[in-house]
Structure 1
Amino acid sequence: MVMREWWVQVGLLAVPLLVAYLHIPPPQLSPALHSWKSSGKFFTYKGLRIFYQDSVGVVGSPEIVVLLRGFPTSSYDWYKIWEGLTLRFHRVIALDFLGFGFSDKPRPHHYSIFKQASINRRVNLLSHDYGDIVAQELLYRFKQNGSGIFPETHRPLLLQKLLKDGGKLSPILTRLMNFFVFPRGLTPVFGRYTRPSESELWDMWAGIRNNDGNLVIDSLLQYINQRKKFRRRWVGPLASVTIPIHFIYGPLDPVNPYPEFLELYRKTLPRSTVSILDDHISHYPQLEDPMGFLNAYMGFINSF
């Protein structure tokens, strides 16, 4: 009887604690992140609001660059190279894909690369991670109309595997995810000496938590399965496309491991040029080495 009462007491205590935990509000935006959001705009796509940044840069230049960012963060990933890009292009545009950052995050919803690509238009593209696959779909459409790139070399993290294939377990994991778990999943894809500060991690987490974005992560991760299914559609155009392509690579990247990824890339895209950054740079080169990344991109843009 005493044991039974003990379990009842634990249950009565645990339930309100769990309810309180599941209703922890998202963190407040830092001044920098708040400024990024307040200076941005929204457009509506099929009844859903998509957040974007659009800065006017060089007067008289006809060129536009659109930045497509990676999983699981937001357009704010580009903030370290934003000013540098405005010195070269007339317009610099970055958007939060559906389900990311400050854009709408409907649930339940079938998130797909095809829908994300339909939001974009034809311009200079600078992409990263998840944005690479969207760019590949745009290349496919370009050819038809006149995070990794290759699924076989992509190395998703353990948490990504659990969330994308967890079935009924995935919604539980997304609800239990918190800021103290988040860095453990993200920092391993940064270089040892270039990992984000705690304040930068909070900015990333705030973008994810905005509009309960943590609850759609498992749905967004279906892009990994989509990439395997549509490999021919998305890798094929890369091998035969005639427009200039440049790849900026952090050789410490565990998601696209060296040297097998780079060997396959050069074999598949022999006409593409490649910039290899310093040995300690990993999966987020635009954040880990913004100057090196910007110099590599400008060297490519100015070469034709």
Structure 2
Amino acid sequence: MPLAEIPLCVWRTRSLEFTFRGQSIRYWTAGQGAPLLLIHGFPTASWDWHYLWQPLAQRFRVIACDMLGFGDSAKPARHRYSLLEQADLQQALLEHLHIQQPLHLLAHDYGASVAQELLARHHEGRLEVASCAFLNAGLFPECHRPLLAQRLLFSHLGWLVARIFTREDLVRNVSQIYGPCTQPSESALDDCWSLIAANQGNRILHRLSAFIPERLTHRERWVGALQQVRLPMRFINGAVDPVSGAHMLQRYRELVPLPDTVTLPGIGHYPHTEAPAQVLRHYLEFRQQPLTASLQKVAWS
């Protein structure tokens, strides 16, 4: 049975606000139980999780924010955006909500790099993470295959590309990374563009794109976190994604000890909107695994 969507107009009415380093951040929380932090990708926002929101909130306390520069959060024009700062933001949100229990992570794309930093902090004893699941993401920068538009955004002409970036450019790029049978509707594209363009966010896309070289800078730390942490992890991957699809999953299997992976044939870069019921099933199956067995598998590697 298809999962019910939450219309963007409704999603926005449910947002809350807190201040992070002088900037307004929009966030959402629902449900009770173990805290589950959902971390969105580039260039979209937490609305990406709307199909999964209610089913997950029936089982966990779900938490998500539009990161700095994204969605309905502040988008300062001259800010130097950083994945490290976005990890600080996630921790600040948890402190704001007085979350003290071990944290579960579910992250996509750009957000998965933030999750890798949180895993590194867990390894250093600065944060307690209980589990982590990834959707399509550039976990290994040597395998990441950015689209031409992304490469242009972090080039010296990025400021110009961002200034002239339009809804039509979004549609052209999205059509390349979704599965052939799971393309988004015009209404969904309108909503995605609304989130990008809010507060003139399209004009800072080049600044947000600094995450691509930043992944290279911190590659050893973030890949090391995947290899060293002793907690359950799963990588759920849309196989036909040209950016971080089957080739990224293969690299994960090569580098991560006793990898727990799921392949979604015919699905592209956004599994949680292209095949949300499948993602939900595989994620809940992951969470139902005995924790001790998962830890032993890693310890024996």
Q: TM-score range by the shorter chain?
A: 0.7 to 0.9
Q: Determine the structure 2 residue equivalent to 1:107.
A: 77
User: 1:17-28 residue pairs with structure 2 within 5 A?
Assistant: none
1:292 equivalent to 2:278? Answer yes
1:132 equivalent to 2:101? Answer no
The total of aligned residue pairs comes to 265
CA contact (8 A) 1:244 1:272 kept: no
Q: Determine the structure 1 residue equivalent to 2:231.
A: 243
CA RMSD of aligned residues (A): 1.3
Alignment partner of 2:49 out of 59, 65, 78: 78
Q: Determine the structure 1 residue equivalent to 2:96.
A: none
TM-superposed deviation, 1:303: 0.9
Aligned-residue sequence identity (percent) comes to 41
Q: Determine the structure 1 residue equivalent to 2:37.
A: 66
* Structure 2 Cα separation of the partners of residues 154 and 282 of structure 1: 14
* Structure 2 Cα separation of the partners of residues 108 and 262 of structure 1: 35
* Structure 1 Cα separation of the partners of residues 19 and 51 of structure 2: 27
Q: TM-score, normalised by structure 1?
A: 0.84
User: 1:157-176 residue pairs with structure 2 within 5 A?
Assistant: 157-165=147-155, 167=156, 169-176=157-164
CA contact (8 A) 2:183 2:274 kept: yes
User: 1:245-284 residue pairs with structure 2 within 5 A?
Assistant: 245-258=233-246, 260-277=247-264, 279-284=265-270
1:32 equivalent to 2:7? Answer yes
User: 1:202-217 residue pairs with structure 2 within 5 A?
Assistant: 202-217=190-205
Q: Determine the structure 1 residue equivalent to 2:20.
A: 45
Which runs of 5 or more structure 2 residues have no equivalent in the other structure? 1-5, 92-101, 127-136, 291-301
Q: Determine the structure 2 residue equivalent to 1:153.
A: 143
Distance 1:257-1:289 versus aligned 2 partners, 3 A rule: closer
Q: TM-score, normalised by structure 2?
A: 0.85
CA contact (8 A) 1:153 1:257 kept: no
Q: Determine the structure 2 residue equivalent to 1:178.
A: 166
Which is greater in Rg? 1
CA contact (8 A) 2:162 2:203 kept: yes
Deviations 1:215-266 (A, max 9, x none): 11000000000001110011111111101111101111111242x3222201
Q: Determine the structure 2 residue equivalent to 1:229.
A: 217
Which runs of 5 or more structure 1 residues have no equivalent in the other structure? 1-30
* Structure 2 Cα separation of the partners of residues 174 and 52 of structure 1: 26
Deviations 1:60-95 (A, max 9, x none): xx3111100100001000001111101211x11111
Q: Determine the structure 1 residue equivalent to 2:180.
A: 192
* Structure 2 Cα separation of the partners of residues 199 and 63 of structure 1: 34
